[in-house]
């Protein structure tokens, strides 16, 4: 691929645009699931993603005109009623079944408050019912980790285990310094991949607003970095409402500037987890990212909900 040269002014303008990108309010989701935004008392539907019919078998117009219990189903609404009050406003992770066009579908659900006037419900198909197998692997890893008392050995083992679990081309631990510059401190990758170990990256690679998202939502899954975003309908919510804040969700669309970054890096998909050093108050923390060079529709994408919950603790 031919190299492209940019002037200092062009680079500065691009960095400034990246730093201003409102990543928490993209007005769209990734296509691996659908989204329903309810009002605060969960009786009225405010917004839905344009792909809702593929998941729930109801058109956008009918969903917006319908009642929440009709669109989402009694089982899920009863679960949401139970989970609706959380002192820390954290997301609820649920599993629910729904009859859709004569077919019983099982959904992985993430629900969370957005501002003072909305509850967001994100749904993905639950496609890997044998979650106990993942737990067995995690338990094996915990036994191994418990016998390691050296941080470098621990991080090496961590990347190796995650690479074996996901089958991704590269797994790396990316650690910030006090100025938020990053360095790859551990890595496991397939032989075809160029090593990034000990590579340094400027703080602008992960701008401040993205780092803040990792404070409240430590796992970020992008199973297909090139997939077109699915817009929300209506685009801005009812009336003069502020754009829907999806900071706590998992389906939030990828910012166009980040899609371009992933393309330039040769990344087809990524899964990242923030690990706070010394607890939530730690000044610097690593981000672990595993990124296959070419996207392919394997169980890594299909099982994304099974991989994410163990990383939330």
Query: Does 90 score more than 90 pLDDT?
Result: no
Higher-pLDDT residue of 116, 154: 154
Pair (139, 116) in one structural domain: no
Q: Across 164-168, 235-239, 244-248, 253-257, which has the greatest mean pLDDT?
A: 244-248
Q: How confident is the model over 165-194, as a mean pLDDT? A: 86
Q: In angstroms, rounded to a whole number, what is the distance separating the alpha carbons of residues 143 and 197?
A: 26
Q: How many CA atoms within 13 Å lie on the side-chain side of 240?
A: 0
Pair (52, 162) in one structural domain: no
Percent of the chain beyond pLDDT 90? 31
Task: Give residue for tokens 């672990």.
Answer: 288
Q: What is the CATH number of the domain that holds 82?
A: 3.30.450.20
Q: What is the CATH number of the domain that holds 208?
A: 3.30.450.40
Q: Each residue of 195-217: pLDDT tens digit?
A: 889 999 888 878 788 888 877 78
Domain count, the chain: 2
Higher-pLDDT residue of 110, 88: 110
Pair (183, 51) in one structural domain: no
Assign 54 a pLDDT band (cuts: 50, 70, 90). Answer: very high
Whole-model pTM? 0.80
> What domain range includes position 183?
129-225+267-311
Pair (211, 136) in one structural domain: yes
Q: In angstroms, rounded to a whole number, what is the distance separating the alpha carbons of residues 33 and 250?
A: 9
Pair (174, 192) in one structural domain: yes
Q: Each residue of 93-143: pLDDT tens digit?
A: 999 998 898 899 999 999 999 888 899 999 999 876 555 566 677 778 778
Q: What was the pLDDT predicted at 298? A: 31
Check if the beta carbon of residue 109 is closer than 8 Å to that of residue 76: yes
* 72: three-class secondary structure by DSSP: helix
Whether 23 is covered by a domain: the verdict is: no
Pair (43, 91) in one structural domain: yes
Whether 256 is covered by a domain: the verdict is: no
Strand order, beta sheet including 182-189: 200-201, 182-189, 170-176, 286-290, 270-274, 219-222
Check if the beta carbon of residue 88 is closer than 8 Å to that of residue 263: no
Pair (76, 157) in one structural domain: no
Q: Each residue of 173-184: pLDDT tens digit?
A: 888 888 888 899
């Amino acid at each position: 691929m031919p190299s492209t040269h940019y002037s200092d002014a062009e680079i500065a303008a691009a960095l400034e645009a990246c730093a201003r990108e409102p990543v928490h309010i993209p007005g769209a989701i990734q296509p691996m699931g659908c989204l329903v935004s309810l009002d605060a008392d969960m009786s009225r539907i405010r917004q839905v993603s344009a792909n809702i019919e593929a998941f729930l078998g109801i058109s956008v117009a009918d969903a917006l005109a319908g009642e929440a219990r009709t669109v989402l189903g009694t089982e899920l609404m009863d679960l949401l009623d139970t989970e609706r009050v959380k002192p820390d406003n954290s997301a609820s992770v649920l599993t629910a079944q729904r009859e859709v066009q004569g077919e019983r579908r099982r959904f992985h659900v993430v629900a969370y408050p957005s501002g003072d006037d909305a509850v967001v419900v994100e749904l993905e198909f639950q496609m890997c019912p044998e979650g106990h197998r993942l737990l067995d692997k995690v338990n094996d890893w915990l036994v191994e980790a418990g016998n390691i008392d050296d941080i470098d050995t621990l991080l090496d083992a961590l990347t190796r285990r995650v690479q074996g679990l996901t089958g991704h081309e590269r797994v790396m631990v990316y650690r910030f310094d006090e100025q938020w510059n990053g360095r790859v401190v551990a890595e496991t990758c397939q032989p075809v991949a160029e090593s990034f170990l000990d590579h340094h990256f400027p703080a602008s690679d992960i701008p401040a607003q993205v780092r803040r998202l990792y404070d409240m939502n430590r796992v970020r899954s992008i199973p297909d970095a090139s997939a077109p975003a699915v817009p929300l309908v209506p685009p801005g919510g009812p009336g003069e409402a502020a754009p829907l804040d999806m900071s706590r969700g998992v389906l939030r669309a990828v910012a166009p500037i980040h899609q371009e970054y992933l393309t330039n890096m040769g990344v087809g998909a990524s899964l990242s987890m923030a690990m706070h050093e010394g607890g939530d108050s730690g000044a610097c923390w690593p981000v672990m990212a595993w990124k296959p060079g070419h996207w392919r529709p394997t169980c890594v994408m299909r099982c994304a909900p099974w991989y994410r919950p163990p990383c939330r603790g």
